[in-house]
């Protein structure tokens, strides 16, 4: 049985291609321990960085676990600072919208645990986008560019 330590395990990559404000070191734990139905990623957030833009999942529930530091959580209820040991559930749907960033000094380490589905749909309210993950591919679409069901078919 494989083991990964969430406190001392080293993140593998720096999201250097991501824009300033969204750069972090991260590691996907599931593949390291042979998981297939649950996923977990560990993120080390430098000062001023966030995991990803404000979003919610339509297909998966996510949990945030604060391992070290004091991240700022934005949710539909507003913003609040979390501390080590805090756990927050982001249910599927708009009520689970969230953004996690480091507004403080030093590194913040968090874990995001989630259910895993074959298909994923995430919505980004601030930028009017929808992300779709299917078959190992990822598509980003604008919500406002609505098409009729029959567009391009007849």
Residue-wise pLDDT for 14-72, tens only, equals: 667 888 999 999 999 999 999 989 999 999 999 999 999 999 999 999 999 999 999 99
Q: What pLDDT is attached to residue 11? A: 86
Max CA pair span of the chain: 58
70 part of a folded domain? yes
Q: What pLDDT is attached to residue 14? A: 63
Q: What pLDDT is attached to residue 149? A: 73
130 part of a folded domain? no
Confidence of residue 142 (pLDDT cuts 50, 70, 90): confident
125 part of a folded domain? no
Domain hosting 103: range is 13-117
Instruction: Give the angle 10-13-16 at the CA atoms, nearest 5°.
Output: 145
Within 13 Å, how many C-alpha atoms sit on residue 65's CB side?
Answer: 10
Q: What is the DSSP letter of 50?
A: B
67 part of a folded domain? yes
Q: What pLDDT is attached to residue 110? A: 98
The total of structural domains in the chain comes to 1
pLDDT(146) > 90: no
Query: CB–CB of 128/54 below 8 Å?
Result: no
CATH number, domain with residue 60: 2.60.120.10
133 part of a folded domain? no
């Amino acid at each position: 049985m494989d083991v990964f330590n969430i406190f001392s395990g080293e993140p593998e990559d720096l999201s250097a291609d991501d824009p300033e404000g969204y750069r972090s070191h991260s590691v996907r734990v599931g593949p390291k321990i042979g998981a297939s139905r649950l996923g977990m990623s560990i993120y080390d957030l430098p000062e001023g960085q966030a995991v990803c833009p404000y979003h919610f999942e339509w297909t998966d529930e996510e949990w945030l676990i604060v391992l070290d530091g004091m991240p700022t959580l934005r949710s539909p209820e507003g913003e609040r600072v979390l501390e080590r040991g805090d756990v927050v559930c982001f249910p599927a749907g708009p009520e689970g919208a969230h953004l996690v960033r480091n507004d403080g000094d030093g590194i913040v380490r968090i874990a995001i645990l989630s259910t895993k589905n074959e298909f994923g749909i995430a919505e980004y309210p601030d930028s009017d986008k929808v992300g779709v993950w299917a078959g190992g591919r990822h598509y980003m679409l604008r919500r406002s560019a609505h098409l009729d069901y029959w567009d391009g078919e007849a």
